[in-house]
Amino acid sequence: MKLPIYMDYQATTPVDPRVLEAMLPYFQQEFGNAASRNHSFGWHAEEAVTKARKEISDLIGCSPKEIIFTSGSTEAINLAIKGVAEMYGAKKKHIITSQAEHKAVLDTCKHLEKLGYEVTYLAPDKTGRIRVEDVAAAIRDDTILVTVMWANNEVGTINPIREIGALCHEKGVLFFTDATQAVGKIPVDVQADNVDMLCLSAHKIYGPKGVGCMYVRRRNPRVRLVAQIDGGGHERGMRSGTLNVPGIVGLGAACALCHAELESEMKRCAELRDHLEQRITSELDYVALNGDREHRLPGNLNLSFSYVEGESMLMGIKEIAVSSGSACTSASLEPSHVLRSMGIGDDLAHSSIRFGIGRFTTREEVDYAADQIIQTVKRLREMSPLYEMALEGVDLASVEWQGGH
Amino acid sequence: MAYSDKVLDHYNQPRNVGSLDKARDDVGTGVVGAPECGDVMKLQIQVEGDRIVDAKFKTFGCGSAIASSSLATEWLKGRTLQEATEIKNTEIVQELSLPPVKIHCSVLAEDAIKAAIADFKSKNAAEPAQTKSA
């Protein structure tokens, strides 16, 4: 077993060797511009892009013509939300989203608010799920778009996408979902799931960084949006710029692998995830699961270890690469906005750790990680005044704390 | 974030972790911070005459918070109460090479020292051993 152990698969994933192999010819031998129509260099590049489009559309159940390549999910999110807002903004001004979205969605919505749009930020339930009835109650006559993520990147909670999509279609409102964490990890079918627009990113599914795409529905309804990057009219005029052919080939190959291995990988990741949780909770008390036990990503485990601060935990398990919702680990010094939106107190947010399990995680690694976590939590609790008070029966919520920042 | 060797040393081998009997008259206890803010320090001193003979801490917080309180207990032992009040957070920052985002950890440690001394003094307000009468 090699140290350190990577257990942060919701942040990014390594490129699968099979993906890399598919990409390599497109850097030097087949380096053509896919937009060059007059020679074989361009044709070969275009053929490769066409193949990738097919591989992606097979995975998510759309037509290859409905794929728009981007630099990743953040760009696709900007294009979807701003592009639709700009297209329909003359008559309608309202957008619905959730407080648990990724910052790419939240910051884009904030930008539109400055331009005069109105945004409703729905609060999820305590497991991080958006309720369909809350979306229904928020829809107005001037609602342009509902944007709700498929699966949450921090707590792994899966939203009722099919039901939200059906509601949007019934009401005549466009539905965009950030599926960055869902595609390739759980079944996604844009037809059955009533999705009008969706984004995904290669680097979350064992492809390269810097490439992703957007699905834009062509009929029932036909989605129209205003391009946010001009210059040549590539990708049906929605996203100009020379196509990143090696990246797109990698994205296609990554999708093909996910498609072929989806079921076995879901099962394997969920088993390892459950094993990790079981090992930890069998040895430690005061451990709480963040997120929805039933509706969650197979490779995600987000736990709060009460009375232990997240950053000090990360220091203790330094051979294991995970993330924390603690303020001390974020650039903004704010605890996780996702946990906060779920009504989880800042004290528990400071104590949260996200474990991300993926294609290359082994049972040996999971056992090693469990040992390290158990040992570290025990050690830090021995020096935690809060754990001592809890054992003495002090109700921490009733204590009047002095100072702090 | 990269930690200084001294922070890592205190984190890996914290000095004087534990608790003194807070009911005792010769023990002063300071608890500062709040769980919602991500750090709580409990710092205790045991005093003979006007000299600190023992110090213990328990901290919920990041590595820098643990290191700041661990260092504080090391510095407190053997000092008089007056000398103890002169410990400044900037000295802790310097000793541990704390980055700007971690300065509040050192502030909290200074607050904890002052709170522990104040607690001891309020318990022993009439004691003749006091350097200053309360």
The predicted structure's pLDDT at residue A328? 67
Chain A residues inside the 8 Å CB shell of B33: 401-404
Taking CB atoms and an 8 Å limit, are B60 and A345 in contact across chains?
Answer: no
3-class secondary-structure state, position A119: strand
Average pLDDT, stretch A174-188?
98
User: Rg for chain A (alpha carbons), in Å?
Assistant: 22
Q: How many CB pairs under 8 A join A and B?
A: 96
- Residue B26 inside a domain? The answer is yes
What is the number of domains present in chain B? 1
Query: Which pair of structure tokens corresponds to residue A310?
Result: 């997240």
Mutation pick from B62, B66, B105 vs chain A, by most beta carbons of A within 10 Å, is B62
* B122 at interface of A, judged by CB pairs closer than 8 A: no
Q: Which helix (H) or strand (E) holds A354?
A: strand A352-356
Q: Among all residues of B, which ones are annotated catalytic?
A: 37, 105
Taking CB atoms and an 8 Å limit, are A312 and B42 in contact across chains?
Answer: no
Q: Which helix (H) or strand (E) holds A283?
A: helix A245-283
Taking CB atoms and an 8 Å limit, are B36 and A386 in contact across chains?
Answer: no
* B134 at interface of A, judged by CB pairs closer than 8 A: no
Chain B residues inside the 8 Å CB shell of A382: 17
- Residue B23 inside a domain? The answer is yes
Taking CB atoms and an 8 Å limit, are B11 and A315 in contact across chains?
Answer: yes
Q: How far is B64 from chain A (nearest CA, A)?
A: 8
Taking CB atoms and an 8 Å limit, are B58 and A308 in contact across chains?
Answer: no
d(CA B77, CA A257): 62
Q: How far is B99 from chain A (nearest CA, A)?
A: 12
Residue from the list B3, B11, B60 with its beta carbon closest to the beta carbon of A385: B60
Average pLDDT, stretch A203-215?
98
Q: Which residue of B has its CA nearest to A347?
A: B36
Taking CB atoms and an 8 Å limit, are B60 and A308 in contact across chains?
Answer: yes
Closest CA to A20 of A203, A189, A151, A150: A203
Mutation pick from B20, B21, B40 vs chain A, by most beta carbons of A within 10 Å, is B40
Given a cut of 80, whether residue B126 has pLDDT beyond it is no
Taking CB atoms and an 8 Å limit, are A403 and B40 in contact across chains?
Answer: no
Chain A residues inside the 8 Å CB shell of B14: 383
* B39 at interface of A, judged by CB pairs closer than 8 A: yes
- Residue B129 inside a domain? The answer is no
Taking CB atoms and an 8 Å limit, are A404 and B36 in contact across chains?
Answer: yes
Percent of chain B past pLDDT 70, that is, above it, reads: 93
Given a cut of 50, whether residue B134 has pLDDT beyond it is no
Q: What is the residue type of A254?
A: A
Q: How many CB atoms lie within 10 A of CB A213?
A: 32
Given a cut of 90, whether residue A122 has pLDDT beyond it is yes
Given a cut of 70, whether residue A23 has pLDDT beyond it is yes
pLDDT band at A326 (very low <50, low <70, confident <90, very high): confident
Interface ipTM > 0.85: yes
Q: List all residues 6 or more positions away from A89 whose beta carbon is below 8 Å from its beta carbon.
A: A117, A144
Average pLDDT, stretch A139-152?
98
Q: Domain range spanning residue B26?
A: 5-121
Name which residue leads in pLDDT, A102 or B2: A102
Least confident of A68-77, A82-91, A331-340, B67-76: A331-340
Q: Give the domains, in start order, of chain A with CATH numbers.
A: 5-9+261-390 (3.90.1150.10), 17-258 (3.40.640.10)
- Residue B132 inside a domain? The answer is no
The predicted structure's pLDDT at residue A402? 75
Contact residues of A toward B, CB < 8 A = 307-312, 315-316, 326-329, 333, 335, 345-347, 350, 382-388, 396, 401-405
Q: Which residue has the tokens 């910051």?
A: A107
Q: Are residues A261 and A272 in contact, defined by beta-carbon separation less than 8 angstroms? A: no
Residue from the list A308, A383, A403 with its beta carbon closest to the beta carbon of B108: A403
The predicted structure's pLDDT at residue A399? 87
The predicted structure's pLDDT at residue A315? 93
The predicted structure's pLDDT at residue A327? 66
Taking CB atoms and an 8 Å limit, are B35 and A311 in contact across chains?
Answer: no
Summarised one tens digit per residue, pLDDT across range A358-372 is 999 999 999 999 999
Q: How far is B34 from chain A (nearest CA, A)?
A: 5
The predicted structure's pLDDT at residue A165? 98
| CATH number of the domain within which B15 lies | 3.90.1010.10
SS3 letters for A215-282?
EECCCCCCCCCCCCCCCCCCCCCCCCCCCCHHHHHHHHHHHHHHHHHHHHHHHHHHHHHHHHHHHHHH
